Amino acid sequence: NVIDRLWHGHVIDFLDFYYRAESCLPLFVRIGRNGGECHWPAFNLADSAITVGVVLLLFDTLRAHRETPASA
């Protein structure tokens, strides 16, 4: 992110989505002239990869703990 800010002046590795809906989820911004679009919170690809990795590590740890036989 620091390199992006220095090189481009802003961060570029994130996803930014808008969706059409009658009403937005709480805390989502309503945009457009008629308010027909909602802004899904932007998220960073690196942060998403770290989150997925941590969840997979936790899953693997719990699975390995369950498979370990109890000592007598």
The DSSP string of 6-46 is HHHSS--SEEEEEEE-SSPPTTPEEESSSS-EEEEEEEEHH
Catalytic residue among 4, 16, 47, 60: 47
**Residue 57: pLDDT over 90:** yes
Residue 16 annotated among the catalytic residues of the structure: no
Q: What is the pLDDT of residues 14-43, one digit of tens each?
A: 777 777 777 777 666 666 555 677 777 777
Catalytic residue among 4, 13, 16, 60: 13
Residue 13 annotated among the catalytic residues of the structure: yes
In this prediction, residue 52 has a pLDDT band, given cuts at 50, 70 and 90, of very high
pTM of the model: 0.45
Going by C-beta distance under 8 Å and a sequence separation of 6 or more, which residues neighbour residue 36?
A: 20, 21
Q: Taking Cα atoms as reference points, which of 36, 38, 45, 57 lies closest to residue 4?
A: 45
pLDDT at residue 35 in the model? 62
